[in-house]
Amino acid sequence: MATVTAKEIKKGSYIKVNDVVYRILRKEVVVCGTHSHSKNKIICKPILGGGERSFNYAHQDRLEKIDVQRKEGQLISIGGGTFQVMDSRSYEMVDAEVLNDDVATGIGEGDVIIFMQVEGRSIILEKKPM
């Protein structure tokens, strides 16, 4: 588990808060309290759907940073709600899931897709445009 301070976190990185993985959209420094202490306001979005959320942290607070890998692959087979994907670089076969019904109906065997791997799960994001 990699941790960083709230001051070090950057836009586009991923953090885990209460077992939910978020992508950082932006970060602001806000002044709050009677003694004008500054804090980091982190605006983020859950990677598995949902709207924007914001969290306030002191500069020295430690956050759990998550490694999320976006990859390209080919959809090999579809069966029983599971999607088997071959990574285009390593030729590794992984079982992936689709969280969006529009994506599930728009892909077929042999399609080149974009997927991500986060905490041992593979999730198909979209069909790669030609």
Could you read off the pLDDT of 22-70 as tens digits, one per residue? Answer: 999 999 988 876 777 888 999 999 987 778 999 999 889 999 999 888 8
Residue 113's H or E segment, with its range, is strand 112-118
Q: What is the mean pLDDT of residues 93-103?
A: 86
Between these two residues, 8 and 32, which has the higher pLDDT value? 8
Where are any strands of DSSP class E within 18-109? Answer: 20-32, 37-46, 53-57, 62-66, 69-79, 82-87, 93-98
Of 100, 105, 106, the residue nearest 125 (C-alpha): 100
Q: Can you list the domains of the chain with their CATH numbers?
A: 2-66 (2.30.30.30), 69-127 (2.40.50.140)
d(CA 16, CA 23): 9
Q: Which two tokens stand for residue 48?
A: 């598995």
Predicted structure pTM score: 0.76
Q: Are 47 and 65 in contact (CB under 8 A)?
A: no
| Three-state secondary-structure class, residue 58 | coil
